[in-house]
Structure 1
């Protein structure tokens, strides 16, 4: 686990990459960029409630008054900075490479599941900081939920539905609603990935990753068999 953690991209790196995506729409001054970087960094480490504008200002190397010239309260600051950043950050990073998986053709549902597992584990190991912000804050911010629904969930569901319906037509999946099949599959996959992340590197836990992965896939396939 330690080796995987060392491979995570620092906040500064993924923020710089994010901002490159947005250059055509908006150009930040150097001072604004420092504030955004500092806010996102502290937000990832401490969460919304524990973050303070004074700490953000100190890390950004600006006066706290500079921040309040643009934002009336800490909430305004964090939501104005982090919500747009998260909205634009999540979509390209979550869908990057994943679109290739979703658009590929598979002979069986278990092949699709395996491709998703491998792809998303690689993503999480590199971008755990992003995932941490997302999981911590999305339950409490309707703006983030709306952006997630619009930018990611709808696109992923559309593509997965096409695959599910294909396997239903060839008789390998039960004739339930594709949304139900996707929900049950994703719930099991997320459970495996989270358990792997939490327990996979602990010496006190006898974790056989290959066996757990195969058990998860078998569980899904048997549960969704016609």
Structure 2
């Protein structure tokens, strides 16, 4: 791979595969698959391209992984359960354990936290965004290992702000869903479009407008 390996990738390559350490060829296959899946998407990447980039015969891939989908799951499933979920929760815990005077302060901290996360884990998150909608196994893993735990923590904070009269009386899950979906939309567009040299993007303005949009809909006027 031409680029330096992201930290999550280094950690993934250290994990056992079915109880066995990865071979050098298996490591190269995973590195190449990660790069191609992130660049072109799973469907557009062929095993022959992965093999060529890894410097191995195509048959070597199928000795380790029966299908291309097995190769995708070998990348995403361990990353989701052992790397991404703990990192997401650890990062969110730093945010959610802080005391905030208002809900907009929490939103701002969440946005800044997720931007830093995405900078460090751009390739795997790009694969997740591209592939989760098309693979039920990944959807179930994401919902169980990431989404459910994050929503539980956020719901408690929302309930606290509602008790203080700082948020409107909607179901906490509704407020969390509206907040998280708006934040994710901003962070993803910022990361995959706003950072382009030719992009017409004022990040300070976009961030503040995103926060104001959420608060206009959910705050107490």
TM-score range, shorter chain: 0.7 to 0.9
**What whole-Å deviation, never above 9, does each CA across 1:16-58 have from its counterpart, x for those lacking one?**
1234465995522222222222222222222111212222222
2:190 paired residue number: 196
Asked if structure 1 preserves the Cα contact closer than 8 Å seen for 2:7 and 2:120, the reply is no
Q: How many corresponding residue pairs?
A: 216
1:185 Cα deviation from its structure 2 partner: 1.1
Cα distance change of structure 1 residues 61 and 212 upon mapping to structure 2, 3 Å threshold = closer
Structure 1 residue runs of 4 or more that deviate by more than 6 Å after TM superposition: none
Cα distance change of structure 1 residues 170 and 26 upon mapping to structure 2, 3 Å threshold = farther
Asked if structure 1 preserves the Cα contact closer than 8 Å seen for 2:29 and 2:51, the reply is yes
2:46 paired residue number: 52
**What whole-Å deviation, never above 9, does each CA across 1:33-89 have from its counterpart, x for those lacking one?**
22222222222222111212222222223222222223333334333x234244234
Cα distance change of structure 1 residues 18 and 96 upon mapping to structure 2, 3 Å threshold = farther
- Aligned partner (choices 205, 216, 219) of residue 222 of structure 1: 216
Structure 2, unaligned runs of 5 or more: none
TM-score, normalised by the number of residues in structure 2:
0.85
TM-score, normalised by the number of residues in structure 1:
0.83
Cα distance change of structure 1 residues 55 and 208 upon mapping to structure 2, 3 Å threshold = closer
Q: RMSD of aligned C-alpha atoms? A: 2.5
1:131 aligns with 2:125: yes
**What whole-Å deviation, never above 9, does each CA across 1:154-185 have from its counterpart, x for those lacking one?**
11001101100100111101111111001111
